[in-house]
């Protein structure tokens, strides 16, 4: 089982809007001792969305899906989720109540009469049409809920709404997974040495310490720091300490110039 993230929207792919979901989801997971396993960004293409969801729903992954659950012509996620599941859309009764509650609040705040049967307000109820058998995800920002089914969790494309909704998902449904595996990370910045000469060392460390991963992040540098490589180990804390000690010993033997990262 992995945790995945699907971000939907032409505006992301065109560069009209910069994605903010990825960094926030990584932050939410990290705070709970969890890690993101994969992510995909796709446009507002119903066939591609449906195919993607069919593929991910065939796995045991926990999947967060951001975007496309509104009621405008470019919002396809609800319909695509239903198609991927092979079920119909239906108006969720609790979602209907919450949407009507939000509409009433908005009209009252504007000093307008409340008539929930106008065509435009009835159209807004489409935001509560979810795949049959879905449950809702509460939205503390404006009450309009998301939904979940088959370990897939669907929230709006607005990070201000998505963040508290995904927080609720994690804390309500997956607290038993929090901090199951302790993790540590240590690294150094190495100067004036070719990455290729360090590859055998990296490979040997992963052989000798199977509960860690080695990472190497070359940088061309800038006006504050010259060209360097951030070399480090991450994973099970005890083995991280052991592997890092070996790493430093090997760098000393090579007379490498390095500083703590």
pLDDT tens string for the chain (261 positions)? 899 999 999 999 999 999 999 999 999 999 999 999 999 999 999 999 999 999 999 999 999 999 999 999 999 999 999 999 999 999 999 999 999 999 999 999 999 999 999 999 999 999 999 999 999 999 999 999 999 998 999 999 999 999 999 999 999 999 999 999 888 999 999 998 989 999 999 999 999 999 999 999 999 988 889 999 999 999 999 999 999 999 999 999 999 999 999
* Closest of 253, 236, 233 to residue 244, by C-alpha: 233
Fold match between domain 3-177 and domain 184-260: no
Which fold would CATH assign to domain 184-260? Alpha-Beta Plaits (3.30.70)
Distance from C-alpha of 31 to C-alpha of 25, rounded to nearest angstrom: 10
**Model confidence, pTM:** 0.87
Specify whether the CB–CB gap between 258 and 190 falls below 8 A: yes
Specify whether the CB–CB gap between 188 and 259 falls below 8 A: yes
Strand partners, 59: none
Residues in the chain: 261
Domain layout of the chain by residue ranges:
3-177, 184-260
3-state SS, residue 22: helix
Residue with tokens 């109540």: 97
Which are the contacts of 48, defined by CB distance < 8 A and separation ≥ 6?
42
Structure tokens at 235: 């994973």
Angle at 139 (CA atoms; ends 133, 145), nearest 5 degrees: 30
One CATH from 3.40.50.2300, 2.60.40.1260, 3.40.50.720, 3.40.980.10 for 3-177: 3.40.980.10
Specify whether the CB–CB gap between 101 and 143 falls below 8 A: yes
* Closest of 19, 6, 23 to residue 65, by C-alpha: 6
What ranges make up the beta strands (E) of the chain?
3-8, 38-42, 62-66, 89-91, 129-131, 135-137, 146-149, 152-155, 184-191, 212-219, 228-235, 257-260
């Amino acid at each position: 089982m992995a945790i995945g993230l699907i971000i939907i929207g032409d505006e992301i792919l065109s560069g009209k809007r910069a994605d903010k979901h990825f960094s926030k989801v990584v932050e939410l997971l990290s705070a709970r001792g969890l890690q993101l396993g994969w992510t995909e960004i796709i446009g507002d293409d119903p066939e591609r969305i449906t195919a993607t969801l069919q593929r991910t729903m065939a796995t045991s992954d926990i999947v967060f899906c951001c975007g496309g659950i509104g009621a405008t012509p470019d919002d396809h996620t609800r319909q695509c989720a239903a198609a991927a599941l092979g079920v119909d859309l239906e108006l969720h009764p609790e979602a209907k109540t919450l949407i009507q509650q939000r509409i009433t609040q908005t009209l009252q705040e504007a000093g307008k009469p409340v008539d929930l049967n106008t065509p435009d307000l009835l159209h807004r109820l489409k935001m509560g049409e979810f795949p049959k058998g879905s449950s809702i995800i509460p939205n503390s920002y404006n009450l309009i809920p998301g939904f979940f089914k088959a370990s897939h969790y669907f929230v709006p494309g607005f990070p201000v709404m998505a963040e508290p909704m995904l927080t609720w998902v994690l804390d309500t449904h997956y607290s038993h997974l929090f901090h199951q595996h302790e993790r540590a990370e240590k690294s150094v910045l190495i100067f004036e040495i070719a990455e290729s000469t360090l590859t055998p060392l990296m490979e040997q460390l992963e052989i000798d310490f199977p509960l860690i991963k080695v990472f190497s992040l070359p940088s061309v540098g800038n006006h504050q720091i010259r060209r360097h490589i951030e070399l480090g180990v991450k994973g099970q804390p005890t083995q991280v300490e052991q592997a890092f000690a070996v790493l430093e010993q090997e760098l000393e033997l090579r007379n490498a110039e390095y500083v703590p990262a």
